[in-house]
Amino acid sequence: MYRKIPQHHFSTALCAIALLLTVGILQFNAVGCAASTQTAEPVTFRVMTFNIHHGEGSDGRIDVGRIAQLIEAQHADIVAIQEVDRGTKRVQKRDILVELSEAAGMAYAFGKTIDFQGGMYGLGILTRFPILAEHQTLFAESSAGEQRGLLRVTLSLKGTEVVVMNTHLDDKRAAERETAARTIVGLCDEFQSGPVILCGDLNTVPGTSPLAILSSSLTDVWEQLGGIHEKTFPSGDPEETIDYIFISPHVGLRPVSQHAVPTSASDHRPVVAEFVLQR
């Protein structure tokens, strides 16, 4: 026999359902807020720039293992390396980049600048972060000399895209260094929406024109952290600063520290900077 539900019981049921829905929505929003807060946590990472002199140390020995040990000891997450040999005669046809990548347990990107001694020579980037894209730019050369260039990769730092650039400027022609610096500034201006990190052996000392050109769009980390440029070359008893890390004036990227590392693994001292990226 059909029994009619009293009106006050029906209203009470509707109120209970409404209350349950409200509580559910509040719990969902709370979980969503917690997840959002978690994904916004900052990322701390270390960047090294290092002219490895094709793996040859100041003692004349080619030793990839000690370079890898240095990377590990400095807890580097991104390493921009210059003077990289792959299959050349002077390294007995070894692929220094692949050997270093395997020894350090890092992914790599490569940008060839010249063919050399039956192999390739150029720039490399090692990283513990996923590589989303890579590109090589060769600088316009107005006079005879070694071709120079810039290797650029886009990395994903836990969901945030960061552009890392690596270069090795001319060691003899000042005009070529200035031209290259202008080209780098133009490339950096294409990535104004996110952080850019420029590393390299710039073959020029503080106060020179190429650094002034770069500083029109980028910030020298040495300068930002107090203006003391540690000497990096030659490695045994360094006399001048020619190795640098620059960053874009991105509000989410903050340098914490930077130092040059004494070593016999190359004729340069590597420079290591620690950053905090607020996502």
> Is residue 200 located within the same domain as residue 67?
yes
User: Once rounded to an integer, what is the mean pLDDT over residues 9-32?
Assistant: 45
Token reading at 224: 């930002």
Flag the least confident range among 31-35, 231-235, 268-272.
Answer: 31-35
Distance CA(274)–CA(131), nearest Å, equals 20
Residue 39 pLDDT grade (very low, low, confident, very high; cuts 50, 70, 90): low
Asked whether residue 23 falls in the same domain as residue 128, the answer is no
Does residue 53 share a domain with residue 35?
A: no
Please state the pTM of the whole predicted model. Answer: 0.86
232 and 190 belong to one structural domain: yes
Judgement on whether residues 101 and 223 belong to the same structural domain of the protein: yes
Task: Say yes or no: 75 and 161 in one domain.
Answer: yes
Q: With H, G, I as helix, E, B as strand and everything else as coil, classify residue 4.
A: coil
Neighbours of 125 (CB within 10 A): 26
Kindly state whether residues 31 and 61 are assigned to the same domain: no
Q: Is residue 90 packed enough to be buried (19+ CB in 10 Å), middle (13-18) or exposed (0-12)?
A: middle
Indicate if 76 and 211 belong to the same structural domain: yes
Q: Do 78 and 34 lie in a common domain?
A: no
Amino acid at 152: R
Q: Are residues 164 and 190 in the same domain?
A: yes
Which residue's entry shows tokens 């900077």? 273
Name the domain count of the chain: 2
153: tokens are 């990769």
Section 32-54 average pLDDT: 78
pLDDT tens for 64-82 read 999 999 999 999 999 999 9
The parent domain of residue 16 ranges over 1-40
Asked if the model's pLDDT at residue 242 lies above 50, the reply is yes
50 and 96 in a common domain: yes
DSSP element (H, E) containing 113: strand 107-116
Cβ-Cβ contacts under 8 Å for 113 (sequence gap 6 or more): 121, 122, 123, 138, 146, 147, 148, 149, 168
**Could you tell me the CATH number of the domain that includes residue 197?**
3.60.10.10
Q: Are residues 135 and 198 in the same domain?
A: yes
